[in-house]
Amino acid sequence: MGRWIFWLGLVAAVLVSSCVKTKIASTGKDTGAHRYISEFPEKHASDEIGKITGSVKKLYSVSSYTTYQFKREAKITGYSIHMGTCQKSAWGVITTNETVFGTATIIGYENSRVALLTCAHVVNSPDTLVSYFESTDEDPSQYVQSFSIKEKQENWVKGLSSCGPFTVLASDIPNDIAIIGKNCESLADTVNPFTNPAGRARELAWGSFVYVFGFPLGNLVITRGIVSLAGKRPMGEFSIDALLNKGYSGGIIVALRHDAPDFELVGMVKTVNSTHEDFLKPASGQQRTPDWLPYRGDVYVGATDHIEYGLNAVVPFEAILGFYQKNRPRLILDGYNLDRFFLPVKP
């Protein structure tokens, strides 16, 4: 009888133990399997990264300006420019070209139409440029030194030169987002649209690991960064500490989840922070003066930008998606249905 009591007690203890373990396992505690990774991927990712690079292109926007130059004694003001009466007072007229480099990603290719995602500031140059003389104590008025009017702008994509210049289909300057496109009827280049799934910037966390694609100084470069979250992030706002240079504007940012096979698009590089600095320099072509001799030649003003590495502005994917949803009717009317890229967003 004692043995039976012992075995019954042992079975009851095992059952109770099993129930307790089952209860703990079903609490639904987040194991982090669906989160974005915060370290280098464990799997070999070179093949997939190489595939993504095929959709990332160098973008350069060339704007042609006619510039009118004035002398101080002409006393040309902003009002004269507004009224259109200043051109006849110009002592010189020159034509100049301004080129801006950036990055664009192919997001659609259907019925010979190619569409790319980039930043608005790369493809939207100002219509007018005005510079002023420095005011003096005798005459504090601001007089115009030069006035430039944009005559033409062309947006070219390296690797898609057979298409010709691309047109801005939709643009949001405050959020710095743009989609450019072209009907490439005689396309002679290979087109590889970005096919990875859309992600959610809101689900990035402190320290999430990302890859960034872009064309700094005209060269395709892939780098990595660590995510820092913004104080308020209604659209999933974040920044990255990646070492970026000019030319990365419009470059895509991708992240990988622990339980997902593919990288997801979580954002786009907006700007690389920099500070402008003027300095004095010798005349162009001037032979170098030894350090121990004073410089006696002409002195000119030069300018440079100092990049503040690790401080980068980013457009989260949720903002890009909202931009597309707002402009979708017009894009479809123009023949650019990009739902395959933007929708559905990964739940």
CATH code, domain with 115: 2.40.10.120
Q: How many domains does the chain have?
A: 1
15 in any annotated domain: no
The answer to whether residue 71 scores a pLDDT higher than 50 is yes
The answer to whether residue 86 scores a pLDDT higher than 60 is yes
Phi/psi at 145 (5° precision): -90, -40
Interval 290-330: pLDDT, tens: 666 677 666 666 655 544 455 678 899 999 999 999 999 99
pTM of the model: 0.76
Of 119, 140, 90, nearest to 251 by C-alpha is 119
Q: What angle do CA 150, 99, 303 make, to 5 degrees?
A: 105
The answer to whether residue 30 scores a pLDDT higher than 60 is no
24 in any annotated domain: no
Phi/psi at 334 (5° precision): -85, 0
Task: Tell me how far apart the alpha carbons of residues 262 and 18 are, in angstroms, rounded to a whole number.
Answer: 38
Tell me the mean pLDDT in the region 170-180: 94
35 in any annotated domain: no
9 in any annotated domain: no
19 in any annotated domain: no
Coil vs helix vs strand at 214? strand
pLDDT of residue 56: 96
Percent of the chain surpassing pLDDT 90? 38
pLDDT of residue 13: 44
25 in any annotated domain: no
The answer to whether residue 106 scores a pLDDT higher than 50 is yes
DSSP category for residue 52: H
The answer to whether residue 9 scores a pLDDT higher than 70 is no
Domain with 195 in it? 46-342
Least confident of 37-41, 62-66, 132-136, 306-310: 306-310
Count the Cβ atoms, other than its own, within 10 Å of residue 83: 9
pLDDT of residue 279: 58
The answer to whether residue 161 scores a pLDDT higher than 90 is no
pLDDT band at 288 (very low <50, low <70, confident <90, very high): low
pLDDT of residue 5: 45
278 in any annotated domain: yes
Task: Tell me how far apart the alpha carbons of residues 211 and 345 are, in angstroms, rounded to a whole number.
Answer: 20
Handedness of CA 210, 50, 269, 246 (dihedral sign): positive
pLDDT of residue 294: 74
pLDDT of residue 274: 44
29 in any annotated domain: no
Task: Tell me how far apart the alpha carbons of residues 275 and 147 are, in angstroms, rounded to a whole number.
Answer: 25
